[in-house]
Amino acid sequence: MLSRNKTLALAVGACALLGFGFQAARKTVSKDPLLAGYEIVTVAAVADAVDQITGQRGFMSHDMRPRTITARVVGRAVTVYLEPTTPEKATPSLSTRESTAMIDNGNPGEVGVIVIKDGLDVAGIGGLMATAAKARGMAGVIVDGGVRDLKEVRTLGLPIYGRSVVPSSTVSRFAGVARNVPVQCAGVEVKPGDIIVADEDGVVRVPATQAAEVLKLAQEIDERETKMVPFIRLHKALSKAVEVFNRI
């Protein structure tokens, strides 16, 4: 029979091995370098870079605002699309089917993009769906529509951006018709796998096919502006800095 001291020593050793195992497991998780880069650059620089690289806007409408907490969101998009329908067809299961499936199959770090056609007067997400998204480790949710249960959702710490705040729901009004398809969200096409970058400035979509090129230009824009600030302070003029750095 082991003495108390030997038993304690074995227990400590086992804990140390477990701890080492957990640390090793954490070290094997490699973060997407693109996403890591987008977590650093400013949203404004990303918007400008998308404009220049793609020739199209990547920024969503001005009313797409943080509705729960103001927090940085960076992740790859998973999408849902809902359309208006009759009360007979807009049963609770049909109204929430695609949104629920998107969240229940969501991976850590993904950003849910829920588009409700003509849906500014209905909430596309509330407390229950937000709780599930948080439990799945999603980075945030973008809703082209309304958000509700704000007091409850704020306690979760899950960033949710939406175009309105309303107490209504999609039940008896809308039906989920598609998941992981290209959607038009607040003026911008979003495809599954595109990168979503958001903070209090707003929300920007970066096409997955041009994400590396956009990131490189956004980094250059941020670097140039960082150099401009002391120059402006020194000369007490913006025009001279624009002339020297060719940036406004």
What DSSP line would sit under 139-164, residue for residue? Answer: -EEEEEEEE--HHHHHTTT--EEEEE
What band does 243 get if pLDDT is binned at 50, 70 and 90?
A: low
Express as a percent the part of the chain with pLDDT over 90: 71
Token digits of residue 244: 């020297």
Nearest CA to 194 out of 179, 183, 209 is that of 209
**Between 30 and 130, residue with greater pLDDT:** 130
Query: d(Cα 167, Cα 155) in Å, to the nearest integer?
Result: 18
Query: d(Cα 189, Cα 7) in Å, to the nearest integer?
Result: 62
For the chain, the domains span 33-208, 214-245
pLDDT in tens, 34-68: 999 999 999 999 999 999 999 999 999 999 999 99
The DSSP code for 118 is: T
pTM, 2 dp:
0.82
Token digits of residue 130: 């937000």
pLDDT in tens, 205-238: 999 999 999 999 999 998 887 766 766 676 655 6
**Between 209 and 244, residue with greater pLDDT:** 209
Q: Are strands 73-84 and 111-116 parallel, antiparallel or unpaired?
A: parallel
The CATH homologous superfamily to which domain 33-208 belongs is: Ribonuclease E inhibitor RraA/RraA-like (3.50.30.40)
pLDDT in tens, 92-111: 888 899 999 999 999 999 99
Q: 134-173 burial, b for 16+ CB within 10 Å, e for fewer?
A: bebebbbbbbbbbbbbbeebeebebbbbbbbebeebbbbb
Residue 149 has pLDDT above 70, yes or no: yes
Token digits of residue 197: 């970058």
- What's the N-to-C CA distance of the chain in angstroms? 78
Token digits of residue 125: 């997400």
Residues ≥6 apart with Cβ < 8 Å to 8: none
Confidence (pLDDT) at 237: 58
CA 230-234-238 angle, 5° bins: 80
